[in-house]
Amino acid sequence: MQLTVWTYEGPPHIGAMRVATAMEGLHYVLHAPQGDTYADLLFTMIERREKRPPVTYTTFQARDLGGDTALLFKDAVAQAHARFQPQAMIVGASCTAELIQDDPGGLAKALALPIPVIPLELPAYQKKENWGASETFYRLVRALSGPVVERSPREGRRPLCNILGPTALGFRHRDDLIEIRKILEALGIDVNVVAPLGASPADLGRLREADFNVVLYPEIARAAAQHLEKTFRQPFIDIVPIGVGATTRFVEAVAALAGVDPSPVLAGVPSRLPWYSRSVDSTYLTDKRVFIFGDATHALGIARVAAKELGFRIVGLGTYSREFAREVRAEAALHGIEAIIADDYLDVEAAIQAAQPELVLGTQMERHVAKRLGIPCAVISAPVHVQDFPARHSPQMGFEGANVLFDTLVHPLMMGLEEHLLGMFREDPEFHDGAAPSHLGRTHAGPAMEPEAAPPAPAPAPIVVEAAQVTVAPIPTTAPWSADAEKELKKIPFFVRGKARANTERFARERQLPLITLETLYDAKAHFGR
């Protein structure tokens, strides 16, 4: 048993729903108890979908357990087929139905429906959401991609590829896809099928016609791409084009595979990130201590952007995607740190506290941890709330994605800078406690959000922080600051003050000094350099 307050991933059948909901003409019959329909609102509320997910639940109750839940399941499959007339169906069990051991695949097969019915085995007590999405997509591709046929010769036609990986409820999948299509179009490469997002089961039958595959989200589509490579000899690219460098490598790799010239895409100034990052205003970003946590795709991609394109220093890198632990560990090693592979947010919180970063890049959860610790933060990976399915175009991938990332990663720091300024001049008459703006939720004035008044609903709701209950794990004891040292510290420019404080305290801790004096401050400065 594992004690859990927050879970980064849902159970694997949520992954299957993400694939089914992304597609057209596919229906999912899920053997599940009453109540499991909560999952619908992830799609209708968080992603703001205009249609119900194409999922029929058996919603069995206790009184059904005495009877024939298998019959209930068969009826649900037959009725869903009659009502929705899908091209294909997937059937499976949620965690509770897994325990009652009806056999969805066998039961559905007995109905002999005139469409493909694909059974899913999603072990709910071992695996999680992304694994479920990957497995479902792989099973669909395997069942529906058809027999091996001779591809038409390449001469006299444009290269043709599939884009694999975008799903429903994917972090920025909608806009990433637009960017990747733009790049492929500029390279003169045609897109055969995008799957699962927007694809029908019939479209999966055309996957084999493409010359190669582009895998945007390895967590979801690498297994399917490997199958297509083996079966249809379609090579695949799974360079994740997050950041300028990765996008350039992606374009070069795709162009090489397609036998086309990459220069139309790479010529000129495809992204503003390099210039923005070189402009003197960005100098203060140098060696900013940053902590990165998310799914493997985004954690790895963003780590490279942060280190190589914005000049940050990576002081923490981790993922909840255990399937990709090896890759994340290797990347962390490049930065001389140890990766955090964890799905317990308390472990991640402890790691953030230990690393003392100046910026946290993570999921919704890290956003809240950072808020609690008063550290600037940006969201770079699922799980996310409704505000991270924005109306505006905001990709992570491609050259426009790099522009978005520059803004996203720097914006909270500018805000942080603003807050420091306000803090620095707090004693000036223009500034007072009530004037402090705070994206970090530390306002002293303004309408206090009463916990009672805030509807704790899944809809966008104000953040409710029960001040009395917020507990922050104790940081190793540090010597107190003498008044004159504290005063001197305030004279240090705000953009290095945090580092000066941390260095001085570390210096004092290591020497077990009882009090931080003026001398300690300058001794530490001399010891560490600036």
Site for other proteins in 348-387 (CB under 8 A): 365, 368-369, 372, 385
Nearer to other proteins, 19 or 246 (CB): 19
Q: Provide the minimum distance between the beta carbon of 494 and other proteins in the complex, in angstroms, as a whole number.
A: 28
Map residue 60 onto helix, strand or coil: strand
Instruction: Return the residues of window 82-111 that contact other proteins according to CB under 8 A.
Output: 83, 94-96, 99-100
287 phi-psi bin (left φ>0, alpha ψ -120 to 50, beta other): left
Among 150, 156, 447, 471, binds other proteins (CB under 8 A): 471
Q: How many residues bind other proteins (CB under 8 A)?
A: 72
Is 42 an interacting residue with respect to other proteins (CB under 8 A)?
yes
Is 455 an interacting residue with respect to other proteins (CB under 8 A)?
yes
- Cross-strand pairs, 341: 319
Give the range of 331-339, 392-400, 412-420, 463-471 binding other proteins by CB under 8 A. 463-471
Spatial CA neighbour of 173 closest among 389, 387, 25 = 389
Amino acid present at 66? G
Amino acid present at 164? L
Give the range of 104-112, 125-133, 205-213, 220-228 binding other proteins by CB under 8 A. 125-133
> Going residue by residue from 130 to 149, which x/- string records binding to other proteins, judged by CB under 8 A?
--------------------
Is 465 an interacting residue with respect to other proteins (CB under 8 A)?
yes
Cβ(318)–Cβ(339) under 8 Å?
Answer: yes
Is 37 an interacting residue with respect to other proteins (CB under 8 A)?
yes
Q: Provide the minimum distance between the beta carbon of 77 and other proteins in the complex, in angstroms, as a whole number.
A: 12
Q: Provide the minimum distance between the beta carbon of 97 and other proteins in the complex, in angstroms, as a whole number.
A: 9
Is 496 an interacting residue with respect to other proteins (CB under 8 A)?
no
Q: Which token pair is 449?
A: 């959000």
Q: Provide the minimum distance between the beta carbon of 459 and other proteins in the complex, in angstroms, as a whole number.
A: 7
Instruction: Return the residues of window 187-246 that contact other proteins according to CB under 8 A.
Output: none
Q: Provide the minimum distance between the beta carbon of 381 and other proteins in the complex, in angstroms, as a whole number.
A: 16
Q: How far apart are CA 443 and CA 436, in angstroms?
A: 6
- Cross-strand pairs, 164: 195, 215
Binding site annotation covers 417? yes
Q: How far apart are CA 299 and CA 381, in angstroms?
A: 8
Among 16, 22, 108, 124, binds other proteins (CB under 8 A): 124
Q: How far apart are CA 172 and CA 82, in angstroms?
A: 34
Q: DSSP letters of 266-332?
A: HSS---SHHHHHHSGGGGGGTT-EEEEEESHHHHHHHHHIIIIIS--EEEEEEES-GGGHHHHHHHH
Element (H, E) at 260: none
Q: Which token pair is 495?
A: 């953009």
Q: Provide the minimum distance between the beta carbon of 370 and other proteins in the complex, in angstroms, as a whole number.
A: 11
Binding site annotation covers 36? yes
| Sheet of 236-237, strand order | 190-195, 160-164, 212-215, 236-237
Q: Provide the minimum distance between the beta carbon of 130 and other proteins in the complex, in angstroms, as a whole number.
A: 13
Is 76 an interacting residue with respect to other proteins (CB under 8 A)?
yes
Give the range of 177-185, 451-459, 475-483, 494-502 binding other proteins by CB under 8 A. 451-459
Which residue is associated with the tokens 């001398």? Answer: 519
Q: How far apart are CA 494 and CA 294, in angstroms?
A: 30
Is residue 347 among the annotated active site residues?
no
Q: DSSP letters of 212-229?
A: EEEES-HHHHHHHHHHHH
Is 330 an interacting residue with respect to other proteins (CB under 8 A)?
no
- Cross-strand pairs, 212: 161
Nearer to other proteins, 459 or 526 (CB): 459
Amino acid present at 518? L
Which residues have a Cβ under 8 Å from the Cβ of 457 and sit 6 or more positions away?
none
Nearer to other proteins, 65 or 515 (CB): 65
Nearer to other proteins, 10 or 241 (CB): 10
Q: How far apart are CA 339 and CA 293, in angstroms?
A: 10
Nearer to other proteins, 93 or 195 (CB): 93
Element (H, E) at 191: strand 190-195
Which residue is catalytic, options 261, 281, 287, 433? 281
Annotated binding-site ranges for substrate: 416-417
Catalytic residues: 281
Annotated binding-site ranges: 36, 416-417
Annotated binding-site ranges for [4Fe-4S] cluster: 36
